[in-house]
Structure 1
Amino acid sequence: MIREAEGTDKDKLFKLYRMLVPNSKKMNVLEEQIEAIRKDPNNFVLVYEEGAEILGTVTLNICLQALHGKRPYGVIENIIVHENHRNKNIGQKLLQYVEEYCRSLNCHRIMLLSNSSRESAHQFFEREGYDGSVSKGFKKYL
């Protein structure tokens, strides 16, 4: 089942995020931040849950723009599937959920960034229809 994350999911989310960024010293998953995101109609932390286990998560941000009339776009962040449950279509289901929601809002596109060293993730995104050759992403950490 896919649902919005709740503040009480913070410890389970922390464990998943640790799989994504195992050496991060700045990671800090806060219950109040998850709840603030839940209240924001344009931002979502979604989880894939089986039983009481959270096996995957994705963050979706809906962004307004002036270029394409009233059509927003989606930004995917922090998509991760538990390392013991990969290749079970969980990531695919999370992306499909996000894509269906973005279509319902008439989004122009969905974008995501992936660490340049995560080749298996790049292959997954390409299988799901994301084109890594059309843009080049840049980040500046503050």
Structure 2
Amino acid sequence: MIREAEVSDAAAIEGLYRELLPNRTDTVVLAERIEEMMQGKGYGTELMEHLEHVCVQMNALKMLLASGATRYAAHQFYKKLGYDG
């Protein structure tokens, strides 16, 4: 069975990621979602800026964003912030 990852999967995904790539200095953002009625008010941008700051403090070289393939609005949001992929 294939399904989109959920927030409750975060610990398992992080464990697998660390096992497969133990020497990576990346940070993975698995779940970042702002409720639709709160979108467009800057909360998502503020949250991403905070996450970027945390990554710098952790000496991460990269920040990887995991997002479902059908989350087109999220992909556009990340691109607006300068992320690619």
Question: Structure 1 stretches of 5 or more lacking a match?
Answer: 1-23, 30-36, 38-42, 44-62, 133-142
Q: Alpha-carbon deviation of 1:96? A: 0.4
TM-score, with length taken from structure 2: 0.70
Q: Alpha-carbon deviation of 1:89? A: 0.8
Alignment-derived partner of residue 23 in structure 2: 66
Give percent identity, aligned residues only: 28
Q: Alpha-carbon deviation of 1:66? A: 2.6
Structure 2 residue 81 is matched with structure 1 residue 131:
no
Q: 2:68 is paired with a residue of what secondary structure? A: coil
Deviation >6 Å, runs of 4+:
none
- Report 1 or 2 for greater relative contact order, CA contacts < 8 Å, sequence distance ≥ 6: 2
Aligned length, in residue pairs: 72
TM-score, with length taken from structure 1: 0.44
The one-letter code sitting in structure 2 at the alignment partner of 1:99 is E
Q: Alpha-carbon deviation of 1:125? A: 0.4
Structure 2: how far apart are the matches of 1:123 and 1:65?
30
1:88 to 41, 44, 56: 41
Alignment-derived partner of residue 116 in structure 1: 69
Q: 1:81 is paired with a residue of what secondary structure? A: coil
Question: Structure 2 stretches of 5 or more lacking a match?
Answer: none
Q: 1:124 is paired with a residue of what secondary structure? A: helix
